[in-house]
Amino acid sequence: MDISFTDEEAAALAIIAEMIIPASDDYDLPGANDDRIFADILNTGARQYEPVAAALAALDAVCNDLGDQPFADLSVAARADAVTAFRHRHVEAAGVLATITTQCYYRDDRVMRALDMETRPPFPLGFDVDEGDWSLLEPVRASGPIYRETS
């Protein structure tokens, strides 16, 4: 069952998504906290609420240890310290947040176009792949059998 994130959870998720993948002027790319991408993150996260919420709770626990303030209320510098500690102490939880951020970011049309990728699923068009140079097999053919006889 899908469960909605609380406002506090959503705020923290947006901040950490942007810390994982920020916007880039160099590549003309949005950050993962871009409205459209973040809506996808919230939607997708709702379908796997428990691990995402648990990861955010672990992040908050780290913040409490460091300064007794929620993650979203920290200064930029303090957030960076908190995230460093969080990634060190909670490798798996950090992986959960990185995974959902990445999964949603790298299917956004703007991101795909920036990577020269088509904005479509693999099916039904598929992709072209070069046949390749099968003459490369000649030295292998010439090498002779390498399997063991058993009788």
Please give the residue ranges that form the binding site for another protein (CB under 8 A).
Answer: 19-22, 24, 26-27, 29, 44, 47-48, 83, 87, 95, 98-99, 102-107, 111-112, 115, 117, 120-134, 136-137, 139-141, 143-150
Of the candidates 63, 48, 36, the one whose C-alpha atom is nearest the C-alpha of residue 95 is: 48
- Residue 64 CB, nearest distance to another protein (Å)? 21
Closer to another protein at the Cβ: 68 or 133? 133
Closer to another protein at the Cβ: 72 or 101? 101
CA dist 52 and 35 (Å) reads 19
- Residue 60 CB, nearest distance to another protein (Å)? 18
Identify the H or E element spanning 13: helix 7-20
Closer to another protein at the Cβ: 68 or 138? 138
